[in-house]
Amino acid sequence: MASRSVNRSPVPRRAVLGTALGGATAVALSGTAHAAEPSADDDTATSGGDRHAWKLRDTMTGDGAWEEFLRGQDLLWTKLPTRWYDGPFLGDGLLGSMIYQEPDANQVRFTVQHGRVQDHRPEFGSGWGTARLPVGHLTLEPVGTITAVDWRLSLWNAELTGTVTTTAGTLTLAGLIQDEVLALRATADGGEEVHWTFHPEEAISPRKIQEDPPAGYTANPAWTTRTRDDGTEQVLQPLTGGGRTATAYRRSGDELLLSVGHSFPSDTAAESDSLRNLRRASSYSRLKGRHADWWHAFYRKSFVSFPDQRLQSFHWIQLYKVASASRAGAPVMATPGPWLEPTPWPGVWWNLNVQLEYWLIHGSNHLELDSLATTVRQGQEQFIANVPAAYRSDSSGVGRSSDMFATREVGEPGTGAETGDLTWALHNVWLSYRHTMDESLLRDTVFPVLRRAINYYLHFLDPGSDGKLHLPSTLSPEYPVVPPQDTNYDLALIRWGCQTLIESAERLGIDDELMPRWQEVLAKLVPYPVNDDGFMIGADTPYAQSHRHYSHMLSVYPLYLVNWERAEDRDLITKSVEHWHAITGAHRGYSYTGAASIYASTGDGDTALTYLRKFFDPDTSYPCRANTHYTEAGPVIETPLSASQSLHDMFCQSWGSVVRVFPAVPSAWADLTLHNFLTQGAFLVSAVRKKGTTRFIRVRSLAGEPLKLRHGLSGSLTVLLDDGTPADTEDLGDGTLAIDLPKGREVLVHAGERPDLTVGPVAISEPGAAWGLP
């Protein structure tokens, strides 16, 4: 079949004026869409004599504007943090460090952990045999007793700076991580002195805090140390399962540079990697230059501002956090991110954690952080090896938790196994495709892996006496009852997967032999099990125990197969989310962020914000912590990142091929700015809301996809291309406009006279304290 992008028909040329949200009557007037006449000194007019051309005035173009804005979002400390979830954190997608007081000591700890450092003994399972392994930590050991600190974690520079005051004097320090090098600079005043010590840590799974090692497990060998001719110290950690970790560090004057290398199966590459990283870094100042260049370019890719200071800062910290924890080409994020601490979760969890970790990167226009897509692309052979041998000819899967290579067998449907996790992870990779329209990602990764993941299900679907296709018992992730048949989690994934395979094959021009089977599944798959309380867990299994996951509502969010825009779905959605939260006791932070996103999908921004704020309520059992991290017996990075996605869902949604601007903004947030927000279809959206009203929307097409815009504007509409000419439009009803927008072009949409087209920060109406320990 031909590619849809080649054969799409142009949108009919119509001037549509007066469309309004909420089903108001659309009035089509004669003539063309118009623009307000610009004055001679109007800085939105372009040169060249075109009086109807326009452009945005972006106030966030210079370094000074960015530095000033992000300084207002920085984390601050005036007392020494005593726990990892209170302190500063640094990272570059691989190497990570958290800074807090050395337990029971008058010292400052800088943890040293690395995303590639893991064991390699899969026979002992993901919790022990392929777990992330600790590396070590540095301590800064003052002469006097620490009495105070004054620290700032600068988001703009991704650098920790400040002082440590002691009874003997002052230590002034700075730190950053770039190119797998932790760079530290410290000077002493008064009677203080700078003393650094590196402490290697035992190479054993952090899961030891919860349980003993499995039978037959032997400890990894002890580390060894060496001093090289240039004064560089190295700690070498061999591993029983093969491979090695090497930590190299060198002090020169006021500076200390440290790097970690890990190799498998090689025993020597780790050593050379760690030394090479130090040589390339050269010095703190040189490394800082490259570091600042990367981070300054990173932030400029998108902008959002809203009037709640505490939440606005939180959102920008999450962007800093996810860029510190993930980069395309690196391994998929483990549940703790690169900041390993004693934890039951020293690996990659595929049944919710991975998915929540990456949603933020799409709207914020940061696909350069997509290590999940990297892992799925590179792990295709491992996904095949994960399914039982009888199904490897055409199927793929992954178990609940794994190492960075996705090494974990998946059980068979019918045995109560959790089988849908790879398909759900593929939804994230599909979102990356949809936000970029990168056809190579669809062709080489999404389509072939999803085809095999759905094939695994197809082996087990059988017709029942009702003529419907049924799935034998599978586990709804972590729901604590005997796994039922026809689990809603899996039914939603099967439906989404078959729909996506059909659409993808059409897009790619593939005449796939399985097309009739996918169509049959969509026609005959059993409906979602529901009762008077809404979605059940599965057939004959109601939602009857408090549960942190919302996997039984996956069809609502994030798949949107059941959605608010279908009137017949609304009662089911409402009953389901209310019943989910009515049974309390097991809810966790992402229970609140998930509910916030579900309510945002219904257009209810106020209720969405109410649930989101529960995550920040210190009286809840599992709240957001002082440095915006989150813990459930150990670091779990996904929940704060998903809270930022809940904000995105309030500001802009693009599921179902419709771009919805400001669909669920809380009534308390009268002013809001979005700039270069990336949506499905590869559109960059900029929009400004003032005094509760959308003033304008600008959309730029990166791929030439059909644009359907739900604008939320009332009154006479102006729809102009970037050269000032009216755009070809069609009123689709319900406040939605189809706009013919070629690739590389921009369109401006506003109501009434042309508004001020300035993009910049909004005024704070809800002040709040800085994050950290200010």
Shared domain for 79 and 31, answered yes or no, is no
Among residues 234, 266, 299, the one where a domain terminates is: 299
Which of the four pLDDT bands, split at 50, 70 and 90, describes residue 24? Answer: very low
Residue 482: which pLDDT band, with cuts at 50, 70 and 90? confident
Total residues found in the chain within this entry: 774
3-state secondary structure of 457: helix
Q: Which residue is associated with the tokens 């990283």?
A: 277
Same domain membership, residue 461 and residue 426? yes
User: Which residue in this structure is represented by tokens 């229970």?
Assistant: 591
Q: Identify the band that residue 38 occupies on the pLDDT scale cut at 50, 70 and 90.
A: very low
pLDDT at 771: 98
pLDDT for position 84: 98
Q: What pLDDT does residue 315 have?
A: 98
- CA-to-CA distance for 205 and 200, rounded, in angstroms? 14
- CATH number at 354 reads 1.50.10.10
Distance, CA of 38 to CA of 40 (rounded, Å): 7
Across the chain, mean pLDDT equals 93
> Domain total for the chain?
3
Based on the domain organization, do 397 and 504 belong to the same domain? yes
Q: Are strands 196-200 and 462-463 parallel, antiparallel or unpaired?
A: unpaired
The answer to whether the CB of 84 falls within 8 A of the CB of 97 is no
The string of pLDDT tens digits covering residues 709-766 is 999 999 999 999 999 999 999 999 999 999 999 999 999 999 999 999 999 999 999 9
Domain boundary among the residues 507, 536, 561 is at: 561
Q: Which two tokens stand for residue 238?
A: 């061999």
Q: Can you give the CATH number for the domain in which 83 is found?
A: 2.70.98.50
For residue 8, what pLDDT is reported? 34
354 & 295 share domain: no
Q: Are residues 247 and 362 in the same domain?
A: no
d(CA 707, CA 70): 33
- The mean per-residue pLDDT over the stretch 645-655 comes to 98
pLDDT at 18: 31
Q: Does residue 13 surpass a pLDDT of 60?
A: no
pLDDT digits (tens, 9 = 90+) for 560-611: 999 999 999 999 999 999 999 999 999 999 999 999 999 999 999 999 999 9
Identify the pLDDT of residue 267.
Answer: 86
pLDDT tens profile 521-535? 999 999 999 999 999
Q: For residue 212, give both structure tokens.
A: 């003993």
Contacts of 569 by beta carbon, 8 Å cutoff, 6+ apart? 562, 563
- In this prediction, residue 631 carries a pLDDT of 97
Residue ending a domain, choose from 561, 581, 604: 561
- Asked if 595 contacts 611 with a C-beta cutoff of 8 angstroms, the reply is yes
Q: 55-109, pLDDT tens digit by residue?
A: 999 999 999 999 999 999 999 999 999 999 999 999 999 999 999 999 999 999 9
DSSP per-residue string spanning 141-210 = --SS-EEEEEEEEETTTTEEEEEEEESSEEEEEEEEEETTEEEEEEEEEET----EEEEE---S-GGGGT
Check the CA dihedral 187-291-275-332 and report its sign.
Answer: positive
pLDDT mean over 235-251: 98
Cα angle 617, 619, 621 (rounded to 5 degrees) comes to 100
Render the burial of 163-181: b for 16+ CB within 10 Å, e for the rest.
ebbbebbbbbbbbbbbbbb
The percent of residues above 90 in pLDDT, for the chain, comes to: 92
What amino acid is encoded at 709 in this protein? L
Residue type for position 379: G
Write the secondary structure of 668-692 as one string of H (helix), E (strand) and C (coil).
Answer: CCCCEEEEEEEECCCEEEEEEEECC
| Maximum C-alpha span of the chain | 85
* Matching residue, tokens 């000032």: 724
Share of the chain above pLDDT 70, in %: 93
749/31 Cα distance (integer angstroms): 17
Residue 53 has what pLDDT? 87
3-state secondary structure of 424: helix
pLDDT in tens, 694-714: 999 999 999 999 999 999 999
Pair 43, 107 in one domain: no
User: In terms of domains, do 52 and 79 share one?
Assistant: no
Question: What pLDDT is recorded for position 52?
Answer: 53
pLDDT value at 46 more than 80: no
- The residue segments making up the domain with residue 550 are 347-561
302 CB contacts (<8 Å, ≥6 apart)? 363, 364, 365, 366, 675, 676, 677, 678
Query: Residue 633 domain-assigned?
Result: no
Phi first, then psi, for residue 286 (nearest 5°) are -65, -45
The alpha carbons of the chain give a radius of gyration, in whole angstroms, of: 27
Contacts of 720 by beta carbon, 8 Å cutoff, 6+ apart? 33, 35, 52, 54, 726, 727, 747, 748
Tell me, yes or no, if the pTM score tops 0.75. yes
- Residue 383 in domain: yes
pLDDT of residue 583: 97
- Contacts of residue 584, defined as CB under 8 A and 6 or more positions apart, other chains included, come to 546
Average pLDDT over residues 350-369: 98
pLDDT of res. 48: 35
Same domain, 181 and 90: yes
Mean pLDDT, residues 657-674: 98
